[in-house]
A and B are shown apart, each in its own frame.
Chain A
Amino acid sequence: GAVVSQHPSRVICKSGTSVKIECRSLDFQATTMFWYRQFPKQSLMLMATSNEGSKATYEQGVEKDKFLINHASLTLSTLTVTSAHPEDSSFYICSAWTGQSNYGYTFGSGTRLTVV
């Protein structure tokens, strides 16, 4: 089946540094990638939708200068958390539409970011 590989799975960084999270579609072309954030015991919150070759669409309240999204190819989308602060600590997960009839969307394994 269609797989999205997400790296890193865990990252700890110091306040003020930047962290890049990659999502790579391994056996299909993802024209659109969704980036979510999840706080403990809460639902997924959509941050932005990235489209290959164009600017990402950010949800209301998400700072586009802080959460930089790049979707330069049909198989790779990246989320960079710039000048990270402890309040950015969260679980980030990406998802893509596969076009397959069985399950439609596939999700990355998630990245747990801790900013110290």
Chain B
Amino acid sequence: KNEVEQSPQNLTAQEGEFITINCSYSVGISALHWLQQHPGGGIVSLFMLSSGKKKHGRLIATINIQEKHSSLHITASHPRDSAVYICAVGFGNEKLTFGTGTRLTIIP
């Protein structure tokens, strides 16, 4: 069974700061996902990674397969980025294994 760990659990930062959230997993994977859950509960899939790096707007996700580690970066953070960010591993019709989530709060 894959163990997925995230850090930090909580993160508070000032608007404009560069944010990094980390995720590590214990067993080799087909894909890793970064999800964003807003206070209302809805979940948005941000990235699916199997290698390298992906960028979308101010969000960057990287993965190191050898080290079993991924990071999610947010540049020029904004209060609207405040949410819970969740790392998960899985692919296709297999079950996702979730990290515990990182609660991010950006202060204006």
Contacts and interface: CB of A to CB of B under 8 A. Distances in A.
A103 B91 contact: no
A110 B47 contact: no
A109 B41 contact: yes
Given A110-B42, A112-B41, A104 B93 contact: no
Interface stretch (A19-27, A30-38, A71-79, A80-88): A30-38
A69 interface: no
Secondary structure of the B side of the interface?
Answer: loop
A105 B96 contact: yes
Contacts of B48: 101-105
A107 B93 contact: no
Interface residues of B, number: 23
Interface residues of A, number: 22
A97 B42 contact: no
B12 interface: no
Interface of A is mostly: strand
A103 B42 contact: no
Contacts of A104: 31, 33, 45, 48, 91
B57 interface: no
B45 A107 contact: yes
Interface of A: 31-32, 34, 38, 43-44, 46, 49, 91, 93, 95, 97, 101-107, 109-110, 112
Contacts, number: 54
Contacts of B92: 97
Given A43-B101, A101-B48, A32 B43 contact: no
A103 B47 CA distance: 5
Given A31-B93, A32-B93, A103 B43 contact: no
Nearest to A59: B95
Interface string B24-51: 0000000101010000111111111000
20 contacts: A43-B98, A44-B86, A44-B98, A46-B95, A46-B96, A91-B41, A93-B41, A95-B43, A97-B92, A97-B93, A104-B31, A104-B48, A104-B91, A105-B33, A105-B48, A105-B96, A106-B45, A107-B35, A109-B41, A110-B43
